[in-house]
């Protein structure tokens, strides 16, 4: 399982927005456990039981954590604005992402190209079948999020289009 920072950020946003108290994800050697109740109890225990030298460290740590949380909120606001002005094409299946119909042919689209609704923008190969992925909106390609030849997951963002 390939887990990138965008996926991790989206997972954390989802956990926060849906007020999920705890979640555990484990696959192969990767394990992620988020438990808000443990965090709240640990914070209050650290603050109440802290010794003189430790309380300053704890306060500094919590200030840093607050600063990180504030930065996260700002980046979330920016990403919300971006999602309002762009449409994300996601992979409908697990497979291999290709930007062109064949290795020796030019890419279907490039960044800043204009696309029309139902225009083929890429291919996802799954089980030796070449599945053409079409634009669902007309507009300008502003970002290509997957690399040619990458393995993509179902629901993984492939590219962003700024609608006309």
pLDDT value for 4: 60
Cβ distance 100 to 120 under 8 Å? Answer: no
pLDDT value for 53: 45
Are both 116 and 147 inside the same structural domain? yes
Looking at residues 92-117, what average pLDDT do you find? 94
Are both 110 and 130 inside the same structural domain? yes
Expressed as residue numbers, the domain containing 59 is 5-85
In the 3-class helix/strand/coil scheme, how is the chain assigned residue by residue? CCCCHHHHHHHHHHHHHCCCCEEEEEECCEEEEEEHHHHHHHHHHHHHHCCHHHHHHHHHHHHHHHHHHHHHHHHHHHHHHHHHHCEEEECCCCEEEECCCCCCCCCCCCCCCEECCCCEEEEEEECCEEEEEECCCCEEEEEECCCCCCEECCCCEEEEEEEC
Backbone angles phi, psi at 92, to 5 degrees: -80, -5
Are both 48 and 104 inside the same structural domain? no
Residue that terminates a domain, selected from 85, 103, 124:
85
Domain harbouring 114, CATH code: 2.40.50.100
**Whether the predicted pLDDT of 92 surpasses 70:** yes
pLDDT value for 54: 42
Are both 9 and 81 inside the same structural domain? yes
pLDDT value for 75: 57
pLDDT per position as a tens digit, 109-146: 999 999 999 999 999 999 999 999 999 999 999 999 99
Record the pTM.
0.50
Give the range with max mean pLDDT: 10-14, 21-25, 60-64, 100-104: 100-104
pLDDT per position as a tens digit, 7-34: 667 777 777 777 777 777 776 666 677 7
């Amino acid at each position: 399982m390939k887990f990138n920072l965008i996926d991790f950020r989206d997972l954390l946003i989802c956990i926060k927005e849906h007020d999920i108290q705890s979640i555990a994800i484990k696959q192969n050697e990767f394990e992620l456990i988020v438990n808000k109740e443990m965090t709240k109890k640990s914070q209050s225990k650290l603050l109440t039981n802290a010794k003189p030298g430790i309380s300053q460290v704890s306060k500094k740590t919590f200030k840093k954590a607050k600063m990180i949380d504030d930065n996260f909120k700002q980046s979330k606001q920016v990403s919300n604005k971006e999602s309002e002005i762009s449409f994300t094409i996601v992979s409908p299946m697990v497979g291999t992402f290709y930007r062109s119909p064949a290795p020796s042919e030019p890419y279907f689209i490039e960044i800043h190209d204009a696309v029309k609704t139902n225009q083929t923008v890429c291919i996802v190969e799954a089980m030796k079948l070449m599945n053409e992925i079409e634009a669902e909106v007309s507009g300008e390609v502003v970002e290509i999020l997957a690399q040619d030849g990458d393995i993509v997951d179902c629901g993984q963002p492939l590219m962003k289009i700024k609608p006309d």
